[in-house]
Structure 1
Amino acid sequence: MARIGVWEVDLVNQQLFWSKITKEIHNTDDDYIPSLENAIKFYKEGYSRNKITEVVANCIENNIPWDEELQIVTTKGKDIWVRAIGQAEFINDKCVRFYGIFQDINTVKVAQIELNKVNEELNAILDSGTIAIIRTDTNGIITYFNEGAETLLGYKSEELVNKETPAIFHDKEEILKLSKEFSTEYNKEINGFDIFTTIAKENNVHPKKWRCIKKDGSSLIMQVSISAIQDKDNNIIAILGVGVDITKLTEQNNQLANFAQIASHNLRAPVSNLNSLLDLYDTCETTEEKEFTFGKFRTVIAHLSETLNTLIEAIKIKETKQSKIEIKTLYFSEKLKKTEEIISEEISRLNAVITSNFSATDTIKYNESYLESIFINLISNSLKYSSPERPPKIEVTTTINEGKIELKITDNGLGIDLKKHGHKLFGLNQVFHRHKDSKGVGLYIIKNQIESLKGTISCNSEVNKGTTITVTF
């Protein structure tokens, strides 16, 4: 129960009276004798003290009553909210006394402040540009579409509310697929928007990734939680969907999912070369042979850290702005030599012959790690898919075509049936020959690297005759 006290100021005799409850609210002793000056000082410094001073003066001078909610500081130093009500008594146009009620409203006021804070936070969420909140009736018709939904999906609230269902911005193929899955899961036929109503009626909060189509035709991936709004009798009266845009997060997760495969591929050549050198080192009999082999170790190990940098660049291609990709003058002949050093043991094992002709141009302004990745991946592929019927021959040349530099790498290997596999040649995890080290990652990596710098890559191949890969810079 709220504590309510009374008070009175006798201006004729300059006395202030507080009732027992008023003293309890101030947390003073029963024998405490207040004065007008001390009473004012109980009010919290700042707004509350300034306000009570103002209304008391206005009451005495102009006979204007007051009713204010203010803060005081008790004798124990505790801030509490009170309701102070006062009015004056005038005789012969002169104020002789003023009196009123003093009420402890701290519990109610604090709860009200907290409620207002929650409401402000809720309104901030409802109006957030990053969170979509959509409510429908039980038939699926949209009844609420917040600013966040407008921002993410491109529709205005007035275009959809009381007119459309969420089907307007959901991917139709995805809805059809999920209709079949949900029909099996719930053992009944579920079509279209019934997916959402079924989830809600089953009393499940169902977070799921959905592909949504924006008004401009572009798409985004949203994580949406769907739940039911119920009345006091637990009847479903509406369905609520809360969603956030996770498009970038999904892309990042996909990149991370491919990280192990890409790492395995790009590091395989130098690591394999190290293993071959270890085997060779074990067979060395003289000190000179061991020193020569150890020198090759240094060369391969020095290239490993650069290969790791290439890997990191490949992972970040789509996230990195071109302005941040370092461009400098490079020499094709130097990059070919470096590649031959990295995979020297594989070249030797297969008796491969690599020739080059950079007479058209030996220089290019390009990103160094990308160019090294192109060389190591394409030449490694030529060795990996060489024909068992003949020693590998690889020719590396440059040409100028319509003002653009072209790098061509031609081999006499197994070749690829382009009519059968051409459309997926540069896809991730695409393998076209049976080989224990085939992962289908290399061409995917360099295609992304090349295209990030506005270049192209193409292939001309014939089964059992060989392949030419052309990179246009």
Structure 2
Amino acid sequence: MPTQIVNIKDQLFENIFDHAPNGVAIVGLDFRWVKVNQSLMDLLGYSEEEFYAMTFPDITHKDDVAADMELLGQLLNGAINRYQIEKRYFHKTGKVIWGLLSVSFERSPIDGAPLYFISQIVDITRQKEMIGQMNAITNIANIQNEKLKNFAHIATHDIRTHLGNLGVISGFMEEELEVLKNNENFLMLKEALSQLESTIDNLNEVRKSDFSTEERMTSLNLKDFVDSAIYNINAIARHEQCKLINEVDGTFNVMAVAVYLDSVILNLLTNAIKYSSKERQSYVHLRSLESEDYIILEVHDNGMGIDMEVHQAELFQFKKTFHNRADARGIGLFLTKNHVESMGGKITVESRVDVGTTFRVFLRKA
């Protein structure tokens, strides 16, 4: 190789070594630092003289030394040509710096004997901290999920116990009071208890299932669920003098999770009744529409309405309420949106203050 080319090559190496944005070092076979660049000094806080007085194990976390040494051995005996590992270094101040270490080595051009190692170190401390934070959050979430599972187990068990007691009491009442057998309100009470038991069964299935929402979705008749929801809240609608109009097509089937679909319809119906206007005859009109990929459940009311210019962005947020009612909790719409989206659907809203609100729930066709 001409002398001029050799000089250019050497100068190029010096420029790359000195000005590399990451730490670069030449390390002897005795593991002592032979040459370090400015980036490595900045990364670990030691001066050039301090580096040359140490070996790399001196500032390597003790738990990472063995793995590094093992790979160096493989490099020297020819088993590998290079390696890359994540390891911890001690900064001069004592803090731990995570580095992504890449190592190769230079051989003698005469006899091929190993001369020294070339190490490149990229600072990955921030990435490791973020991964640690994510793992901590995941761990907390897993603990909370386990607590929720336990709570759900206790809740469904205890509610079922009370439900059984109510069923026994209603049976006693029916036996002792013959007139109740044909009483409309008493029949509605019995049906409501039956529907509640069905809901508890569905919740129990969700609690026990380890499958994704997609795997738990089945073909469900939309009108059957609307009919059931209307029956369950019919007494509330009568009390609030709110007319319920059901024009949902009985031929439409949707892909859904039963307990989610039930919750969505009940939430929209109870909200529409709760926020009905006292200034006019109230109604809630339900109908179904068909699009290319979805069956659309439309729930329209002539109630108090929502100021969309003010509340559009926070409409489905947790604990957000839009009317001054003491019993408003801001959970129903949050759950509704989450249920709909978990089933692969979407929900839209149109509303005008003191005119009414229209929710459209897009559910996947069966």
> Normalised by the shorter chain, which TM-score bucket?
0.5 to 0.7
Instruction: Indicate how the Cα distance of structure 1 residues 378 and 143 shifts in structure 2: closer, same or farther if over 3 A, else same.
Output: closer
Tell me which of the two structures has the higher relative contact order, counting C-alpha pairs closer than 8 angstroms and 6 or more residues apart: 2
Q: Counterparts of 1:438 and 1:260 in 2: how far apart (Å)?
A: 23
Q: Say if 2:203 is the partner of 1:305.
A: no
Specify the alignment match of 2:215 in structure 1. Answer: 324
CA shift for structure 1 position 402? 3.3
Structure 2 unmatched runs, 5+: 1-61, 68-85, 104-118
The partner residue of 1:167 within 122, 126, 143 is 126
Q: Which has the higher helix share?
A: 2
Residue 349 of structure 1 is aligned with which of 216, 239, 252? Answer: 239
Query: How far apart are the structure 1 equivalents of 2:126 and 2:238?
Result: 62
Tell me the distance in 1 between the aligned counterparts of 2:89 and 2:304: 60
Q: C-alpha separation between the residues in 2 aligned to 1:256 and 1:415?
A: 38
Aligned letter for 2:186?
F
User: Which residue does 1:456 correspond to in 2?
Assistant: 346
- Residue 392 in structure 1 maps to residue 282 in structure 2: yes
Question: How has the CA–CA distance of structure 1 residues 461 and 164 changed in structure 2, closer, same or farther, with 3 Å as cutoff?
Answer: same
Give the distance between the partners of 1:444 and 1:297, measured in 2 at CA: 29
Unaligned runs of 5+ in 1: 1-118, 125-131, 146-155, 171-211, 214-218, 224-245
- Conserved? CA contact 1:414–1:466, under 8 Å: yes
TM score, norm. by length of structure 1: 0.44
**Which residues of 2 match residues 42-81 of structure 1 at below 5 A?**
none
Please tell me the residue identity of whatever aligns with 1:221.
M
What is the aligned partner in structure 1 of residue 134 from structure 2? 221
CA deviation after TM superposition for structure 1 residue 415, in Å: 1.1
Which residue of structure 1 lines up, in the alignment, with residue 270 of structure 2?
380
Q: Distance in 1 between matches of 2:127 and 2:358?
A: 48
Q: Contact conserved, 1:144 with 1:157, CA < 8 A, in 2? A: no
The residue that corresponds to 2:332 in the other structure is 442
CA deviation vs aligned residue, 1:24-77 (integer Å, no higher than 9, x gap): xxxxxxxxxxxxxxxxxxxxxxxxxxxxxxxxxxxxxxxxxxxxxxxxxxxxxx
**Cα distance in 2 for residues equivalent to 1:360 and 1:300:** 22
**2: CA distance between counterparts of 1:405 and 1:457?**
12
Contact 1:314 1:449 in 2 (8 A): no
Q: Match of 1:221, SS?
A: helix
CA offset digits 1:83-128 (Å, max 9, x no partner)? xxxxxxxxxxxxxxxxxxxxxxxxxxxxxxxxxxxx99x989xxxx
SS of equivalent to 2:198:
helix
Q: Alignment partner of 1:337: what SS?
A: helix
Q: Does the CA-based 8 Å contact 2:217-2:343 persist in structure 1?
A: no
- Pairwise CA RMSD: 4.5
Aligned in 2, Cα 1:440/1:158: closer, same or farther, shift over 3 Å? farther
Quote how far apart the aligned CAs of 1:138 are.
Answer: 4.7
How far apart, CA to CA, are the structure 1 residues paired with 2:318 and 2:357? 20
Q: Report 1:225-374 matches (<5 A).
A: 246-247=137-138, 249-250=140-141, 253=144, 287-289=178-180, 292=183, 293-309=185-201, 311=203, 320-328=211-219, 330-359=220-249, 361-374=251-264
Shift of 1:427: 1.8
Which one-letter code corresponds to 1:137 in the other structure? H
Q: Which residue in 1 is equivalent to 2:360?
A: 470
Shift of the alpha carbon at 1:468?
0.6
Structure 1 residues 462 and 169: alpha-carbon distance in aligned structure 2, compared to 1, 3 A threshold? farther
User: What is the deviation of 1:384?
Assistant: 1.3
The 2-side partners of 1:370 and 1:259 are apart by: 20
Bigger CA radius of gyration: 1
1:253 counterpart letter in structure 2: Q
Is the CA contact 1:414–1:463 (under 8 Å) kept in the aligned structure 2?
yes
- Structure 1 Cα separation of the partners of residues 125 and 306 of structure 2: 46
AA in 1 matched with 2:91: D
Name the aligned partner's letter for residue 321 of structure 1.
Answer: S
SS at match of 2:296: strand
Aligned to 1:74: none
1:138–1:466 CA distance, 2 compared to 1 (3 A) = farther
Report the TM-score, using the length of structure 2 for normalisation: 0.56
Quick check: 1:455–1:471 contact (8 Å CA) kept in 2? yes
- Hey, which bits of structure 1, 4+ residues long, moved more than 6 A? 257-261, 313-317
Identity %: 23
